[in-house]
Amino acid sequence: MPHPATPTPAIRRIAIVGAGTIGASWAALFLAHGLTVVVSDPAADAEAQTRARVQAAWPVLKELGRVVEGASPDALLFEPDLATALVDVDFVQENAPEREDFKIELFARMDALLPPRVIVASSSSGLIMSRLQSRCQHPERFVIGHPFNPPHLIPLVEVVGGDKTSVEVIEQSIAFYRAMGKYPIRLNKEVPGHIANRLQAAVWREAIHLAAENVASVADIDAAVSQGPGLRWALFGPHMTFNLGGGAGGLAHFMDHLLGPVQTWWDDLGTPEVTPELQCKLIEGVNAEAGRRSIADMVQTRDAQLTALIKVLHR
């Protein structure tokens, strides 16, 4: 893998507002690139949890070649007081609870504390920035920078501005994330859930429908993705996958010959009602699929396999 790109000179000190799994993962990535990182979260155990998660992410970051010379997980700064944490920062990555009312109030508070030049990016997985920035005096510097979990491993960042976000802020955010080794994509318009979560939700809805209809077990439905199209999706998205499926004629040939059958599948897709009984069925199904493996064990396995896959893809 190539050496990590040099970050934008204007961004050297980052505030992570809201720790948790996502915030700690962002912190690890930014620290690995030699940036000064201060994490702010009022929870009593937030500092200990954040430091533990950053330490756990560090070996993987080193294995992937993303740790610049002199970088250390011990350089992380923690400040529970938001106003103090935001002093002299160049960029804010916000990871607060996914509640619109909470974020609107938080954004207005940060807006009052920060100089106008500082970009504030939200990790929100589906909220609309136009509403989140509605009470800010400088809404032009607020942008969505939605990562995929865990951010220190998964390259994708979805970048989209609100009605009042400046084009320059969107472009600067994309350049910054790219310098961090991420793969930023730009949304041309706001939609709830952005892109990737909507695609995930669409697949999961049909997976739930298939389970509800007893077409197969939860484990086999999962395997139908992980042992089939999921492997191809690690290389190409759905459009390019079907373009290759068309052979020499590409997508045009595929659509000419198979669009009819695909349309019948679309027409038959389900819209399940996730009742308490169906919830129990799904939970029992994933527990049976997991067997004796704990969540921690599976996360460790996932991250190890993701690391190996990323190394192969970036050869």
End position of a domain, from candidates 168, 186, 204: 186
Nearest to 299 by CA among 168, 153, 156: 153
The verdict on residue 1 lying in a domain is no
Asked if residue 260 and residue 150 are part of one domain, the reply reads no
Asked if residue 167 and residue 233 are part of one domain, the reply reads no
Judge whether 152 and 26 are in contact, CB under 8 Å: yes
**CA atoms of 43 and 101, how far apart (whole Å):** 19
Residue 123 tokens read as: 């990790």
- Residue 314's pLDDT is 81
Q: What is the mean pLDDT of residues 37-63?
A: 96
Say how many domains are in the chain.
2
Asked if residue 234 and residue 121 are part of one domain, the reply reads no
- Residue 6's pLDDT is 44
Asked if residue 182 and residue 133 are part of one domain, the reply reads yes
pTM of the predicted protein model = 0.92
Asked if residue 174 and residue 43 are part of one domain, the reply reads yes
Specify the DSSP element, H or E, that contains 242: helix 238-245
Which residues, at least 6 apart from 26, have a Cβ–Cβ distance to it below 8 Å?
Answer: 16, 93, 95, 123, 147, 151, 152
Range of the domain at 233: 196-313
Could you read off the pLDDT of 74-130 as tens digits, one per residue? 999 999 999 999 999 999 999 999 999 999 999 999 999 999 999 999 999 999 999
Asked if residue 73 and residue 214 are part of one domain, the reply reads no
Nearest to 16 by CA among 44, 36, 45, 43: 36
Could you read off the pLDDT of 16-46 as tens digits, one per residue? 999 999 999 999 999 999 999 999 999 999 9
The verdict on residue 221 lying in a domain is yes
Burial class (CB in 10 A: 0-12, 13-18, 19+), 261: exposed
Judge whether 68 and 4 are in contact, CB under 8 Å: yes
Residue 279 tokens read as: 């919830």
Asked if residue 154 and residue 98 are part of one domain, the reply reads yes
**CA atoms of 203 and 312, how far apart (whole Å):** 26
pLDDT of 5 over the 70 cut:
no
Edge to edge, the sheet with strand 13-17 lists: 77-78, 36-40, 13-17, 91-94, 119-122, 142-147, 156-161, 183-186
- Residue 2's pLDDT is 36
Asked if residue 222 and residue 171 are part of one domain, the reply reads no
